[in-house]
Amino acid sequence: MIRQLVNRSQAWILPTMLVLGVMSAIVMGYSIYMAVRDINLIKSASSFVGADNFSALFQDARAWGSLSRTVVFSVSATAVELLFGLGLALYLNRPFFGRKLVRTLLLIPMIMTPVVSGLIWRVFYDPNNGIVNYYLGQLGLGDKHNWLGSTDLAMVSVIIADVWQWTPFVFLILAAGLDAMPSEPLEAAEVDGASSFQRFYHVVLPLLAPSLMIAFLLRIIDSVKTFDIIYVMTRGGPSLATETTNMYAYIQGFNNFNISYATVINLTITVIITFLFTTLYARLSKARR
Amino acid sequence: MRKRNAARSALFYAGVACLLVFFMVPLVWLISTSFKNSRDAFAIPPKWLFQPTLDNYANVFDRSDFFKAFGNSVFVSLVSTLLCLCLAAVTAYALAYFQFPRKSKIMTFILSSRVAPPILMLLPVYFISVQLGVNDSYALLIFMYMLMNLPFAVLMLVTYFEDIPSEIREAAFVDGCSETRTFFKVILPLARGGLAATFILSMVLAWNEFLIGLVMTGKMTQTLPVLVTSFMTFQGTEWGPLSAAGTFIMLPMLVFGIFVQKHLVKGMTMGAVK
């Protein structure tokens, strides 16, 4: 009976597991094969090089620079998105005329085609004809900023575009959390004479913690993978100022055709991401319990 | 007192208006630029009122590669989404209703394939496809998009199936339905809202996808997001046609997305948020 049950379940699970499992096996197997050889698609032959790619990676300042830029990008974009998203959710958490419409309109940045959004921001940031500089000039904040062209501002500019794209997502998660929040604890706190800050800090924030955790987790995982907007806005430039590890692996693999070396860069990121993910996931499930 | 309330609510609406301006300006700019002639497009100060023209659309629709790419995008995202949904529905049914060993491990495995960066998979697949000479083919692109959407589609559908009371499924068994019949005749019709939402969300994700398309497509299978970046050339960028093409690419997905907005967050958080 039990065996029959297992067999029955397996038949339903099988197709997906076969596709995902076989693909993962091929990807892992080939990645390891490629990592220990020096495959370059421009050269015709490749040979076994052992751990040379890994030792090259440890001496590759560009790779470590890209990793630190990935951390700067992901952490600051995620932090700003959480902060803005929380502010937005609290600000709009009241009945008002047009509430549904506002929520609908806020969906737009996250479903717009990212490549197109990146192109729009690129035009906005144009130092001579862009509307960002024009309106900043009108406000007396200077109209000569070279947003995407200077090493100081390029990263900030890309982060602003990412914040624009993903703050609504954080907002919607937190707004759903606020909607589902029971009203009794807040009322009890009010009766007990808690100030509005105390109510927020001691009642709302702890109750919102699971939603905040989910938003944080999904944003940090996906921001590490950000490719589209960086590719169309800067391609990692100027002078590597916005080159994240993802972008660097792309350039090594598909511009320089150093397939082996790109794989090694990738395997290293994935180990770091998986480590990040598993520790965070453990903490998240603890927080939800 | 009433005056103060009115002032406060005016202030509140002003805040809401500022927020909407920030989040909406890119879309409004894109759509309005697509109807501007080249002189108005980059006028400083920016022109928000102008004489509309359809030249940019005419220009884009004259390009044969645009229609080719449009057809490719429709074909690839539609077929990959349908395949993905078929696989995902069967798997999600088992994950939602059956008890079996290592179930939570399987869930974690599916979740982890959602977490892995796509470029990790792209390098070996690209290398193998070049070796076999099958890059720039529809079949491979469809397979890649199906693979990309499969993990989230499974996890999303599980939450919809779990919302259906298990008594309904048991009642079907009592009435003599087989497992397969119950799945097709009882569960799937009840979960059609969830199926539609999953369908639309994976359609949007495949339609908007850029990196896989950039690497895996050639002249023949190029999709719209890849084509759009080719409007940026060394001679400069044709912003007018580009904004028309951008508007054309985005509008169907915006309509779809707004249509399923209630399910969107649930889908994008894989059921963690209802």
Q: How far apart are CA A68 and CA A151, in angstroms?
A: 15
Nearest chain A CA: its distance from B90 CA (Å) = 6
Q: Is residue A115 one of the residues assigned to a domain?
A: yes
pLDDT one digit per residue (tens) for chain B, 274 residues: 567 788 888 889 999 999 999 999 999 989 988 888 877 777 777 777 777 888 888 888 888 888 889 999 999 999 999 999 999 999 998 888 888 778 888 888 887 777 777 888 888 999 888 888 888 889 999 999 999 999 889 988 988 898 888 888 888 888 888 888 888 888 888 888 889 889 988 999 999 999 999 998 888 889 999 988 887 766 667 778 888 888 988 888 888 888 877 777 777 776 666 5
Task: Determine contact, residues A212/A34, Cβ cutoff 8 Å.
Answer: no
Q: Which CATH architecture has domain B63-268?
A: Orthogonal Bundle (1.10)
Q: Is residue A2 one of the residues assigned to a domain?
A: no
CB contact under 8 A, B87 and A19: yes
Contacts of B94 (CB under 8 A, 6+ apart): A9, A12, A13, B100
Q: First and final CA of chain A: distance in angstroms?
A: 34
Burial B88-111 (b: 16+ CB within 10 A, else e): bbbbbbbbbbbebeeeeebeeebb
Residues from chain B contacting residue A24 (CB–CB below 8 Å): 113
Nearest chain B CA: its distance from A181 CA (Å) = 13
Q: Which two tokens stand for residue B119?
A: 């470029």
- Position B272 scores a pLDDT of 66
- Position A162 scores a pLDDT of 95
Three-class SS of chain A? CHHHHHHHHHHHHHHHHHHHHHHHHHHHHHHHHHHCECCCCCCCCCCECCCHHHHHHHCCHHHHHHHHHHHHHHHHHHHHHHHHHHHHHHHCCCCCCCHHHHHHHHCHHHHCCHHHHHHHHHHHCCCCCCHHHHHHHHCCCCCCCCCCCCCCCHHHHHHHHHHHHHHHHHHHHHHHHHHCCCCHHHHHHHHCCCCHHHHHHHHHHHHHHHHHHHHHHHHHHHHHCCCHHHHHHCCCCCCCCCCCHHHHHHHHHHHCCCHHHHHHHHHHHHHHHHHHHHHHHHHHHHHHC
Residue B150 CB neighbour total at 10 angstroms: 25
Q: How far apart are CA B169 and CA A46, in angstroms?
A: 57
Residues from chain A contacting residue B113 (CB–CB below 8 Å): 20, 24
Q: Which of residues 16-75 of A touch B (CB under 8 A)?
A: 16-17, 19-20, 23-24, 26-27, 30-31, 34, 39, 41
Q: Is residue A28 one of the residues assigned to a domain?
A: no
Q: Is residue A271 one of the residues assigned to a domain?
A: yes
- Position A274 scores a pLDDT of 67
Q: How far apart are CA B201 and CA B152, in angstroms?
A: 10
Question: Is A5 or A232 the better-scoring residue by pLDDT?
Answer: A232
> Which chain B residue's Cα is nearest to A218?
B269
| Total number of domains constituting chain A | 1
**ipTM, 2 dp:** 0.87
Supply the CATH number for residue A83's domain: 1.10.3720.10
Q: How far apart are CA A64 and CA A243, in angstroms?
A: 11
Q: How confident is the model at residue A155 (pLDDT cuts 50, 70, 90)?
A: very high
Query: Does residue A82 carry a pLDDT above 70?
Result: yes
Domain assignment of residue A161, given as a range: 48-288
CB contact under 8 A, A91 and B15: yes
Nearest chain B CA: its distance from A198 CA (Å) = 23
Round the CA-based radius of gyration of chain B to a whole number and report it.
23
pLDDT in tens, A224-275: 888 999 999 998 878 898 999 889 999 998 988 888 999 998 888 767 766 7
